[in-house]
Each structure stands twice: as structure tokens, then as C-alpha cells.
């Protein structure tokens, strides 16, 4: 089970920077998400969960015999180990 805490900061560009902290039994992570239009908190958390799942799936698909093309860098989502 994971717990996601978020805080938001409006930017001068009109975008919103979302700082999130994910607490899990295996360890904690934190990161930032750039939101370009206003969204409800539930949608922001769903987007964070989706991007976390996508990143984990990409890590699991590392096969030296059949390499996949790398995913394009997502400059709106950053994730760090806490």
C-alpha cells in the first residue's frame, strides 16, 4: 500500500508545480510534476500513480537480448529516492 502526499505551488508562467511524497513499505520517494492546466486533486494523484506505474514497467522491461527503444524523457515528471 502506498500513500501519496502532495503540495502545490503556482508558478509565474501560469503552470502549477506539484511536489509529491510517496510512502511505501519498500521505501520512500519524492518528486515533482508540472501541471499545465487546473486539475482536481484526485486527477493529479491519479496522474502521479499512472506515471509511477509507467516508470516501473519500463524498468522491468530491461532485457539485454531484446532491447526496447528508450522512452522519450518526460521533463514534466521527476522522481527521486528519499
Q: What is the mean pLDDT of residues 74-80?
A: 88
Residue with the larger pLDDT of the pair 52 and 73? 52
Residue 74 has a pLDDT of: 82
Residue 58 has a pLDDT of: 73
Residue 14 has a pLDDT of: 93
Cell of 12: 509565474
Cβ contact 34:8 at 8 Å: no
- 18-72 pLDDT, tens digit each: 999 999 888 899 999 999 998 999 999 999 999 998 888 777 766 666 655 556 7
Amino acid at each position: 500500500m502506498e500513500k501519496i502526499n502532495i503540495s502545490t505551488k503556482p508558478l509565474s508562467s501560469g503552470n502549477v508545480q506539484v511536489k509529491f511524497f510517496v510512502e511505501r513499505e519498500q521505501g520512500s520517494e519524492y518528486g515533482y510534476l508540472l501541471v499545465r492546466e487546473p486539475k482536481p486533486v484526485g486527477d493529479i494523484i491519479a496522474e502521479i500513480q499512472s506515471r509511477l506505474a509507467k516508470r516501473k514497467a519500463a524498468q522491468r522491461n530491461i532485457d539485454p537480448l531484446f532491447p526496447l527503444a528508450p522512452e522519450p524523457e518526460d521533463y514534466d515528471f521527476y522522481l527521486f529516492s528519499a
